[in-house]
Amino acid sequence: MMYVGNVVGFLGVTLVGDLVGRQRLMIGNLLVAFVGLLITMFCVSLSMAAAGLFLVTCGIQNSFNVCFYFIS
């Protein structure tokens, strides 16, 4: 489930990033990852943990890539 979050993040969120702006995209991705971490911390079932980890990988991976482009 976590790898599906990577694919969704790469294909869906980065295409929107050009329209929104890189800084807003990075902050939004970090917020998505934070919400995913909160869901994972307070989960009561395995499916809820899978949904939280999906959000975590979708947010963290994209914010890392956007930050990498800022540095280079």
- The tokens for 44 are 């009561």
Q: What is the pTM of this model?
A: 0.79
Answer with the residue of higher pLDDT: 30 or 9: 30
Q: Give residue for tokens 């990498």.
A: 68
Question: What is the pLDDT at residue 47?
Answer: 93
Q: Is the dihedral of CA 16, 17, 23, 28 positive or negative?
A: positive
pLDDT in tens, 10-56: 777 767 777 888 788 888 888 989 999 999 999 999 999 999 998 88
Question: What is the pLDDT at residue 70?
Answer: 66
pLDDT at residue 1 above 70? no
pLDDT in tens, 57-68: 888 877 777 777
